[in-house]
Amino acid sequence: MIAIIDYGMGNLWSVKRKMDRIEADSVITSDEKEIRSCEKIILPGVGHFATAVSEIKKRGLWDLLYEQVIIEGKYILGICLGMQLMAHHSEEGDSEGFGWIDAEVIRFKIEDLRLKIGDSRLKIADGRLKIPHVGWNTLEKVKDSPLFMNIDMRSEFYFVHSYHIRCNNPENILAETVYGYPFVSAVNKDNIFGVQFHPEKSHDAGEMLLKNFVNL
């Protein structure tokens, strides 16, 4: 059983539907007993970093997740904001995160960067890249990982975000994506995995990634 953590923020049911589609047993929960009994954890998230931290603590999940991930060593997959919460700190709300990954979360700093002519994949507003980064983009693999097994790295994944992780330890970087400049789009440290994109919205490639996580 996989626990999809409910802390009041995120597209929980999209993740659950995708897990059902790949026939993986999962439950949306914030219940301590259910989380303790699950073999793996998915931490989704959409919204404001500091608000997410507050909601996780309000529900008594902060210390529980630390225990399950760091002490018990359960595999966890952070999605979008869920990945960002694994960093030490975020500019969004000047808030501290879990600190599981040696990284900070920063806002895109591309307001003055101009697009290369002919790159139709990127959204333009008055000659500038739009923030948030919304839409489909590819990954550039930095290192091999079972998370990307049987996935064509030319596949496009769906992104929606204004902030991204900046890793201090390059060993934690699995993949990068270019939006104005390269940013970290997937991380791993031991049993901890995170992706900036939404695999639950990324068609076959996202489905395969979730299968790979289930099979870790």
Enzyme catalytic residues: 80, 198, 200
CA gap 67, 147 in Å, rounded: 23
Q: Which residues pair with 84 in a beta bridge?
A: none
Tokens of 99: 């600190």
Tokens of 35: 């989380």
Question: Tokens 């259910």 map to which residue?
Answer: 34
CA gap 186, 177 in Å, rounded: 9
Tokens of 55: 């909601």
